Amino acid sequence: MITSKIIGNGILRAIGFIVLTTISISFIYLIQSVIIYLVVALILTLIGNPILDFFKRRLKFKHTLATIATLSIFILFIAGFVLMFIPLISAQGQNLSLLKSAEIEENITELSDQAITFLESHNIDSEEMLKEANVTSKLNFNFIPNFLNSVLGTIGSFGMGLASVLFITFFFLKDRLLFIVGAKKLIPDTHEEQILNSVHKINYLLSRYFIGLLLQLFIVFILYVIVLSIFGIPNLLIIAFLCAVLNIVPYIGPLIASILAAILTMLSNLGSDFQTVILPTTIYVLIGFWIVQVIDNNLSQPLIFSKSVSSHPLEIFLVILIAGFLSGILGMIIAVPLYTIMKVIGKEFFPENKVIQLLTKNI
């Protein structure tokens, strides 16, 4: 029989659960920066594990020395990146007019006028249509300085974040065996072997995945540099790097990269004739970027990712596509690592399932 006391206790438990959940979410929100540091440090650890093992097995380094050597490689890579791009950004920032919203608006208006002149020369009456739409007057470029100020603020705190990430990464690499021993004490004895096997395989496959991702981005970056250098585009290293980073977002990222490259190509050629210089150069750059994407999508990306996570290229494509429909861009980014984790867990806990056997036959 349900009494008022039972109902009251149920209501109190429900209220307590809601309050506890709210407090937990609020706490996670407050420490979101720390969580980001931990995630980045974990990714660096997965990338660094094969390097650490190389130092220990091939060069016979002690564990601590191998950890320091691995971390030193990360630091040298980051330092090289900063030394390469910061001077370029400082020297070319004025040319790109990133901090001058009025100048950007004037450049866009000039580019629009040149496009109208080009269309009119081909008997396309677009001037009146553009004037009625009054597009340039509706564009507000004042957000650019605010956006860049926020970026500069982020860069200002980058030093502290980087130091925190490297510190955490050092102990993730150095004390990984201690973490495993500690985790064993929390794991139920009935599933200890399955869980430990899953963790080992996940660590191995994700390490290969993130190394493969870095290799893919490097290949795309080099190809973008070649395309931009062929057509003499200024600031080609910065543009190529930004476009390569956008490639992390499958399918949508390359499209945004192509649009960005087209806009920067047009702006870098302002003052030249639209019909004979600006338009042809932009089209050639877009064709070059399209060729890079064909190479990346059909050669480097399927080979690197399918080999790194032991999945068929079509399987990877479908997983990314489904994740995009379900969770948008974020889903597309985390689709492959999450799918790999699910496959490993499925193989360990449901090895008799026919579907799982088919999907995990190469793991």
Among 43-52, 81-90, 99-108, 280-289, name the one with the lowest average pLDDT: 99-108
List helix spans (H) across the chain: 4-30, 32-57, 63-96, 101-121, 127-133, 135-138, 143-156, 158-174, 176-186, 192-230, 236-246, 252-268, 279-295, 301-308, 313-349, 354-359
Burial of 339 (0-12, 13-18, 19+ CB in 10 A): buried
What does the pLDDT read at residue 3?
67
Gap between the Cα atoms of 136 and 106, Å rounded? 9
Gap between the Cα atoms of 107 and 101, Å rounded? 10
What does the pLDDT read at residue 98?
42
Average pLDDT on 344-356 reads: 84
User: pLDDT at residue 78 above 70?
Assistant: yes
Q: Which two tokens stand for residue 133?
A: 């739409």
Report helix, strand or coil for 272. strand
Gap between the Cα atoms of 98 and 121, Å rounded? 32
HSE (CB half, 13 Å, CA atoms) of 145? 9
What does the pLDDT read at residue 227?
92
Task: Determine how many CB atoms are found less than 10 A away from the CB of residue 321.
Answer: 14
User: pLDDT at residue 130 above 70?
Assistant: no
The angle formed by the CA atoms of residues 157, 163 and 168, to the nearest 5 degrees, is: 125
Q: What is the pTM of this model?
A: 0.68
Q: What would the pLDDT profile of 34-54 be if each residue is shown by its tens digit? A: 888 888 888 888 888 888 988
15: Cβ contacts below 8 Å, ≥ 6 apart: none
Gap between the Cα atoms of 108 and 106, Å rounded? 5
Percentage of the chain exceeding pLDDT 90: 10
Residue with more model confidence, 228 or 308 = 228
State the first-to-last Cα distance of the chain, in angstroms, to the nearest integer. Answer: 54
pLDDT band at residue 99, thresholds of 50, 70 and 90?
Answer: very low
Closest CA to 344 of 211, 208, 197, 209: 197
Average pLDDT on 223-242 reads: 86
Long-range contacts, 253-256 (Cβ 8 Å, 24+): 254/289, 254/293, 254/296
Residue with more model confidence, 156 or 185 = 185
User: pLDDT at residue 103 above 70?
Assistant: no
Q: What are the φ/ψ torsions at residue 292 (nearest 5 degrees)?
A: -60, -45
Among 4-18, 149-163, 179-193, name the one with the lowest average pLDDT: 149-163
Residue with more model confidence, 289 or 83 = 289
Report helix, strand or coil for 98. coil
251: Cβ contacts below 8 Å, ≥ 6 apart: 320, 324, 332
What does the pLDDT read at residue 225?
92
What does the pLDDT read at residue 102?
53
User: pLDDT at residue 92 above 70?
Assistant: no
Residue with more model confidence, 14 or 94 = 14
- Residue position matching structure tokens 């190394």: 211
What does the pLDDT read at residue 171?
92
pLDDT band at residue 114, thresholds of 50, 70 and 90?
Answer: confident
Q: What letter does residue 297 receive in the DSSP assignment?
A: I
Average pLDDT on 181-199 reads: 76
Spatial contact of 173 and 70, defined as CB atoms under 8 Å apart? yes
Average pLDDT on 157-181 reads: 83
Q: What would the pLDDT profile of 273-300 be if each residue is shown by its tens digit? A: 777 778 888 899 999 999 998 888 777 7
